[in-house]
Structure 1
């Protein structure tokens, strides 16, 4: 299975973002039922992904507010939760929020 990186510091986010590597990132609220469903969809995609060129990341927006805020600033997309991004070379080529985060939507975007 593909490893999941939990972002718990702004420095950790900066390292990942500035690396230029391809990242599928989920901003997840641990108290929201919509976010719980988005997390299930994200995990279903991650578990089925057969490539090796994608880093999977997650930030818990309540617990790690500074990281979440820095992500919103860096990618220039207003914060929502849940929210999912495909980032490659520091550019967001796909994003979705709330009920739009589905395994099928992620598959289609990538």
Structure 2
């Protein structure tokens, strides 16, 4: 009952695309020319990363202006390193990087990751 009073409505599942190889960064660059792309770097060993991810997923909305990609950086450290090098953004975890036209245009980390701020910067 109380959850209905305080709920913002239906929960929207984040349509994550898993980032598992460095080759996919070419796809990210290509797609970012049509629509901004979000790279969400998550550590499965970090409680702060888990909280940040849960907070992001709770606030995710259907009106997202970006295509979301998810990176398990423990399993794919090479991809994480390639992202830092390719987009010139120092590695942090958790981290959200917004890519437009093949360039990082906004990034945030830890509890600074905000769906609404990412969505605003995607416009």
Mapped to 2, the partners of 1:107 and 1:50 lie a distance apart of: 9
CA-CA distance at 1:14 after TM superposition: 2.3
From 63, 86, 103, the counterpart of 1:91:
103
Q: Which runs of 5+ in 1 are unaligned?
A: none
* Structure 1 length-normalised TM: 0.84
From 67, 83, 97, the counterpart of 1:71:
83
- Say whether residues 1:27 and 2:41 are aligned partners: yes
Contact 1:44–1:103 under 8 Å retained in 2: no
The verdict on how the C-alpha distance between 1:55 and 1:104 changes in structure 2, with shifts beyond 3 A counting, is: closer
Structure index of larger Rg: 2
Mapped to 1, the partners of 2:71 and 2:100 lie a distance apart of: 17
Mapped to 2, the partners of 1:109 and 1:95 lie a distance apart of: 10
Contact 1:7–1:57 under 8 Å retained in 2: yes
From 80, 95, 98, the counterpart of 2:92:
80
The verdict on how the C-alpha distance between 1:31 and 1:59 changes in structure 2, with shifts beyond 3 A counting, is: same
CA-CA distance at 1:86 after TM superposition: 1.2
Question: RCO (CA 8 Å, sep 6+): is it higher in 1 or 2?
Answer: 1
Corresponding pairs, count? 108
Other structure's SS at 2:23 match: helix
Write the mapping of 1:1-110 to structure 2, written as runs, cut at 5 A. Answer: 1-19=13-31, 20=33, 21-46=35-60, 48-51=61-64, 54-110=66-122
* Structure 2 length-normalised TM: 0.76
Q: Which runs of 5+ in 2 are unaligned?
A: 1-12
